[in-house]
């Protein structure tokens, strides 16, 4: 804080300051209830005037606002923003009661106050205790009865009110030339009663005899003295009342601010209550929506679980059905393979029913040894099954020897059976009983295939 701010703060402390506009309650000191001066903040978050809080801590170490324990070492300066707001508060000049119309910001009080023309100052003459405004000081000083004057004749000092008395007793004045004496300007001795006459010395005696204040000199003297004392008393009383009224006005303004702030607080509380009620209604609606949403979610979850369960059951049933079908197909395949094997054996193909060919001669005339026909190495069961199935599915199948022979020829051609077996097979003549057996076999295969499709 520089010297200018210190001087300004000193004036604000010592003078009765009036603010142009009501001050926000947040800028008032909770102790003195005046706008903050040199504010400091406590650890508990409250702001006080520095002088006020230090005085309060001399009595108790607790915060005056919330009674929490605080220490001076924990105090800190408030933000510059708050200081700027306080400094920019508009105030009246403290000399407003003397007629000064000036309004300025609080931070510029010092600059104005020491140049204010309405400041009360004491008369510079030591014996005069009258206070006048600064702009009238010069006039008062020149006319003051207690102004000290140096006699131009004897060089002695006398008071202005005693000028006539001094001249009458001045020895050097008596020695002066008559022309000088007659030209000396003298004021009427009843000036203090209101007589404004002044003229040459030679006319003074004549004026005093005819002065209307001369006849009432004793009366005016008593009245003047009495009035002067009374005025001084009244002046002191009026000053006291002015200060008292100023304090009362300040207090009323504070109370008015508090009342306004309380009304604002009440209105704010009502607004907050209404807002809380609206929020509670919204919360209730949200709760209802959440409950409905939860119910919907639970319902959807149950449906989904049921769908999953149903799907699992369906899949298990399908898997079981597939297993059953697969087992049935395996069984049919085994039965079909047994049937094919039996058919091949009945038709002379296979080790069980192949007859040995005896006394067979080679091209060179030698006998061949007995031999047995086996399935070739290139035997393919799947091809055999497909071929047999195709022949069984043919709608033109007959029970003639030619179709049976063709079937056997196809088997030898497709599966590369040995030539001897083929020759033996193709040279074999089927009887009616063989054809009947073959036809019965085909019918059995068809029935089994229809059963497997079902």
Cα distance between residue 128 and residue 105, in whole Å: 35
- Which among 88, 113, 138 is the end of a domain? 113
Calculate mean pLDDT across residues 92-108. Answer: 89
- Which among 203, 237, 262 is the end of a domain? 203
- Spacing of C-alpha 304 from chain mean position: 42
Angle between helices 217-346 and 381-393 (to 10 degrees): 80
Q: What is the pLDDT at residue 105?
A: 92
299, 363: one domain: no
Residue 99 counted as domain residue? yes
Q: What is the pLDDT at residue 189?
A: 63
Asked whether the predicted pLDDT for residue 69 surpasses 60, the reply is yes
Q: What is the pLDDT at residue 114?
A: 84
- Spacing of C-alpha 312 from chain mean position: 52
Residue 341 counted as domain residue? no
Q: What is the pLDDT at residue 146?
A: 85
The answer to whether the beta carbons of residues 53 and 36 sit under 8 Å apart is no
363, 444: one domain: yes
Q: What is the pLDDT at residue 446?
A: 53
pLDDT per position as a tens digit, 174-200? 666 666 666 666 666 666 666 766 656
Residue 147 counted as domain residue? yes
Nearest to 22 by CA among 179, 347, 253, 276: 253
Return mean pLDDT, the chain.
Answer: 73
Structural domain of 434: 347-453
Which positions ≥6 away from 30 have C-beta within 8 Å?
Answer: 46, 48, 64, 65
| Phi, psi (deg, nearest 5) at residue 65 | -90, -50
Question: Would you place residue 338 in the very low, low, confident or very high pLDDT band (cuts 50, 70, 90)?
Answer: confident
**Can you give the CATH number for the domain in which 25 is found?**
3.30.40.10
395, 434: one domain: yes
Pick the residue with more confidence: 275 or 36?
36
Residue 211 counted as domain residue? no
Question: Would you place residue 63 in the very low, low, confident or very high pLDDT band (cuts 50, 70, 90)?
Answer: confident
Nearest to 48 by CA among 64, 60, 62, 59: 64
98, 144: one domain: no
7, 109: one domain: yes
- Which among 203, 231, 248 is the end of a domain? 203
131, 108: one domain: no
Pick the residue with more confidence: 334 or 3?
334
Least confident range from 21-35, 307-321, 323-337, 340-354: namely 340-354
324, 221: one domain: yes
193, 245: one domain: no
Q: What is the pLDDT at residue 191?
A: 66
Count other Cβ atoms within 10 Å, centred on residue 58: 7
pLDDT per position as a tens digit, 361-412? 455 555 444 444 444 444 444 544 555 455 444 444 444 444 444 544 554 4
Q: What is the pLDDT at residue 374?
A: 42
Sequence-ordered alpha helix ranges (H) in 79-216: 80-87, 109-113, 137-143, 163-169, 171-175, 178-183, 204-210
Pick the residue with more confidence: 285 or 272?
285
126, 103: one domain: no
**Number of residues in the chain:** 454
365, 289: one domain: no
Question: Would you place residue 247 in the very low, low, confident or very high pLDDT band (cuts 50, 70, 90)?
Answer: confident
Residue 131 counted as domain residue? yes
Q: What is the pLDDT at residue 199?
A: 59
pLDDT per position as a tens digit, 14-24? 888 889 888 89
Which range of 34-38, 253-257, 362-366 scores highest in mean pLDDT? It is 34-38
Count other Cβ atoms within 10 Å, centred on residue 184: 16
Tokens standing for residue 108: 């510029």
Q: What is the pLDDT at residue 200?
A: 67
Q: What is the pLDDT at residue 265?
A: 65
Q: Which residue has the tokens 């063709």?
A: 406
Q: What share of the chain has pLDDT > 90, as a percent?
A: 6
Residue 32 counted as domain residue? yes
Tokens standing for residue 52: 């006020």
pLDDT per position as a tens digit, 119-168? 888 888 888 888 888 888 888 888 888 888 888 778 888 887 777 777 77
Tokens standing for residue 20: 């142009």
Question: Would you place residue 103 in the very low, low, confident or very high pLDDT band (cuts 50, 70, 90)?
Answer: very high
How many domains, the chain?
A: 4
Cα–Cα distances in angstroms (integers) from residue 74 to residues 40, 44, 77, 78, 216, in the given order:
10, 10, 10, 13, 73
Asked whether the predicted pLDDT for residue 253 surpasses 80, the reply is no
Least confident range from 265-269, 316-320, 328-332: namely 265-269
222, 165: one domain: no
195, 221: one domain: no
Q: What is the pLDDT at residue 177?
A: 63
Tokens standing for residue 175: 């020695």
| Phi, psi (deg, nearest 5) at residue 150 | -95, 125
Asked whether the predicted pLDDT for residue 423 surpasses 50, the reply is no
Angle between helices 401-415 and 419-426 (to 10 degrees): 180
SS3 108: helix
Cα distance between residue 233 and residue 256, in whole Å: 34
Pick the residue with more confidence: 278 or 180?
278
Which range of 145-149, 257-261, 312-316 scores highest in mean pLDDT? It is 312-316
């Amino acid at each position: 804080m520089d010297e200018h701010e210190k001087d300004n703060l000193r004036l604000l402390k010592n003078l009765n300051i009036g603010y142009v506009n009501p001050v926000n309650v947040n800028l008032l000191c909770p102790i003195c209830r005046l706008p903050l001066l040199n504010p400091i903040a406590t650890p508990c978050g409250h702001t006080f005037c520095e002088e006020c809080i230090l005085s309060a801590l001399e009595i108790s170490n607790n915060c005056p606002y919330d009674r929490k324990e605080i220490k001076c070492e924990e105090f800190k300066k408030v933000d510059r923003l708050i200081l700027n707001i306080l400094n920019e508060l508009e105030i009246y000049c403290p000399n407003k009661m003397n007629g000064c119309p000036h309004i300025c910001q609080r931070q510029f009080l010092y600059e104005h106050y020491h140049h204010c023309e309405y400041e009360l100052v004491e008369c510079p003459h030591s014996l005069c205790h009258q206070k006048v405004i600064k702009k009238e000081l010069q006039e008062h000083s020149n006319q003051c009865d207690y102004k000290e004057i140096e006699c131009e004749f004897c060089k002695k000092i006398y008071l202005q009110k005693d000028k006539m008395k001094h001249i009458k007793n001045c020895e050097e004045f008596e020695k002066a030339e008559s022309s000088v004496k007659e030209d000396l300007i003298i004021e009427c001795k009843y000036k203090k009663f209101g007589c404004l006459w002044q003229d040459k010395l030679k006319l003074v005696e004549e004026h005093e005899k005819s002065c209307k204040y001369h006849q009432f000199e004793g009366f005016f003297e008593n009245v003047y003295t009495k009035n002067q004392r009374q005025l001084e008393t009244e002046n002191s009383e009026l000053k006291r009342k002015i200060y008292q009224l100023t304090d009362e006005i300040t207090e009323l303004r504070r109370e008015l601010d508090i009342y306004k702030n309380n009304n604002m607080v009440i209105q704010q509380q009502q607004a907050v209550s209404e807002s809380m009620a609206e929020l509670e209604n919204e919360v209730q609606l949200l709760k209802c929506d959440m409950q409905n949403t939860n119910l919907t979610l639970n319902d959807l979850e149950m449906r989904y679980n049921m769908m999953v369960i149903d799907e699992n059951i369906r899949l298990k049933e399908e898997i079981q059905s597939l297993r059953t079908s697969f087992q049935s197909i395996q069984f049919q395949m085994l039965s079909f393979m047994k049937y094919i094997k039996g058919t091949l054996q009945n038709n002379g193909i296979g080790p069980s029913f192949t007859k040995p060919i005896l006394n067979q001669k080679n091209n060179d005339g030698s006998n061949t040894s007995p031999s047995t026909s086996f399935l070739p190495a290139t035997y393919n069961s799947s091809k055999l099954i497909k071929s047999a199935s195709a022949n069984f599915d043919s709608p033109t199948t007959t029970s003639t020897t030619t179709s049976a022979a063709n079937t056997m020829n196809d088997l030898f051609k497709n599966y590369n059976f040995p030539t001897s077996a083929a020759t033996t097979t193709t040279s074999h003549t089927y009887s009616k009983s063989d054809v009947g057996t073959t036809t019965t076999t085909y019918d059995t295969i068809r029935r089994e295939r229809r059963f497997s499709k079902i």
